[in-house]
Amino acid sequence: MRLDNPTRRAWLIWGSAVVVYIAAVFHRGSLGVAGPQALDRFTVGPAALSTFTVLQVGLYATMQIPTGVLVDRFGPRRVLIGAATLLGAGQTLFALADTYALGLAARAVLGIGDAMTWVAVLRLVAVHFPARLYPLVATLSSALGALGGVAATFPLSLTLGQLGWTTTFLLAGITTLGFTASSALLVRDGPPPHHGEPRTEPSTALLHRLRTVWTVPGTRLAFWVHFSTMFVSNALSLLWGYPYLTDGLGIPASTASMVLSLLIIGQVLGGPVVGTVIGRRPAGRMPIVLTYLTVEAACLTTLMTWPDGHPPLPVVATAFFLFALGGPVSAIAFALARDYNPLHHVGTATGIANTAGHTATATAVLTMGLVLDLVPSTSTITGYRIAFLAPTAILLLGLLRTTTWWRRTRSTILAAQQRGEDVPVPIRPHKWDLDELRHHE
């Protein structure tokens, strides 16, 4: 059983797993600054280039629920070993790819490997650390993972300039393959998450598990929180942020790389802060989410509607930094998934939640690429201003559904409190809860 205070061994296991996650985030974002070279290497246009990211992120999203089931069934250690192997093999193949089809295959392998990391890390946190530390360690994991994104900006751009495409990505792939051994040696699953819970179960039981987890209002709320909070930052850091800055706004490449790095720095700085706050005051989680979504919508509107389409660099930098905070805020989804599901369902619930933000990311990346290809404009910045309508629409949808499921989750909690049941986070009713309570009854 877990101790109230985590042991040194728990931190070692967690650190070994986070190294794989850092590598996954690096590989996920490695096309951001390599986009211009990819256009020349594979002889494609913007829409085809966006397909690399859409395929990778789409597979990531598709794999989240299966990954959650795999983690619950076989344990995070085996899943992490498989993830490191696929990440290293995929990046090695991408280094050697010289055709568009082979490049797509490589990004597909990367997407599957990437998909297997985060849920496994969170499951290890849930098993090896006490509940009171879960929000802090989860957001700290995300913040450290963001360092992989930092490495995928200016350092990767510099290395590509010095060593070239093949050598750079080959070194990255081989290094990641080495993490397979460290995961096998150092990561341990820990005690079974539920006494007597079998490691294997028939497929009918797995489907029942999915239905059971999905019907929990807290799981639905976690899904929409994750959907809404992190996709703007992802879409910009994975593909469209750098072209927007350089081609759209005409910012020099070196300055654009620094602005793009704010999408990562914000995550690194914001993660521990958000984790500490929601760990100490869990009742403040949803007010934080709704406030952030309002700020994010305001930032998108500012970039789209600024006179002449060229906001000053400080305004752009501030917007990018605020977008970055979506990563730490999205971790609230995982805290919700953990709180409102039994521990032996946490992997599945986390996978469901994690599907959401990456589905939104893939949708935003693809629609922005299509708009930039199809919408006639007199200038590049006009095309980007129109393209920003896509993430704005996705954000408004997410905000609407988040608000809906927050109210439904509150009604479930309030009804449980009225029955005298223990709830993860006690709340006080407001007047606007009455309609939901009547519907619940």
Per residue in 232-259, pLDDT tens? 998 898 788 888 998 889 898 888 888 8
pLDDT value at position 68? 80
What is the C-alpha to C-alpha distance for residues 195 and 199, in angstroms, rounded to an integer? 11
pLDDT value at position 198? 46
Nearest to 159 by CA among 31, 151, 146, 238: 151
Say if 185 falls within a structural domain.
Answer: yes
Please name the amino acid found at residue 173: G
Say if 217 falls within a structural domain.
Answer: no
Condensed to tens digits (0 to 9), the pLDDT of residues 26-43 reads 998 888 778 778 878 888
Condensed to tens digits (0 to 9), the pLDDT of residues 267-305 reads 888 888 888 888 788 888 899 999 999 999 999 999 999
Give the mean pLDDT of 352-364: 88
Which range, of 37-51, 192-206, 259-273, 423-437, averages the lowest pLDDT?
A: 192-206
Total domain count for the chain?
1
Say if 125 falls within a structural domain.
Answer: yes
Say if 24 falls within a structural domain.
Answer: yes
What is the C-alpha to C-alpha distance for residues 109 and 32, in angstroms, rounded to an integer? 18
Say if 426 falls within a structural domain.
Answer: no
Say if 90 falls within a structural domain.
Answer: yes
Condensed to tens digits (0 to 9), the pLDDT of residues 378-421 reads 568 888 889 999 999 999 999 999 999 998 888 888 877 777 77
Q: How many CB atoms lie within 10 A of CB 3?
A: 10
pLDDT confidence band for 331 (50 / 70 / 90): confident
pLDDT confidence band for 370 (50 / 70 / 90): confident
pLDDT value at position 201? 53
Say if 142 falls within a structural domain.
Answer: yes
What is the C-alpha to C-alpha distance for residues 347 and 287, in angstroms, rounded to an integer? 25
pLDDT value at position 441? 52
> Where is 28: in which H helix or E strand?
helix 8-29
Question: Are 392 and 418 within 8 A, CB to CB?
Answer: no
**Parent domain of 160:** 10-189+238-387
pLDDT value at position 2? 46
Q: At 367, which CATH number?
A: 1.20.1250.20
Question: Are 181 and 62 within 8 A, CB to CB?
Answer: no
Condensed to tens digits (0 to 9), the pLDDT of residues 104-155 reads 999 999 989 998 998 899 889 888 888 778 778 887 888 788 788 778 877 8
In the chain, the largest separation of any two C-alpha atoms, in whole Å, equals: 66
Say if 204 falls within a structural domain.
Answer: no
The per-residue DSSP string of 188-229 comes to: ---S-SSTT--S---HHHHHHHHHHHHTSHHHHHHHHHHHHH
Is 164 a residue whose pLDDT tops 60? yes
pLDDT value at position 18? 93
Is 8 a residue whose pLDDT tops 60? yes
pLDDT value at position 71? 84
Q: Which residues contact 373 (CB under 8 A, 6 or more apart)?
A: 45, 46, 47
Nearest to 327 by CA among 299, 358, 352, 282: 358
Mean pLDDT of the residues in the chain? 84
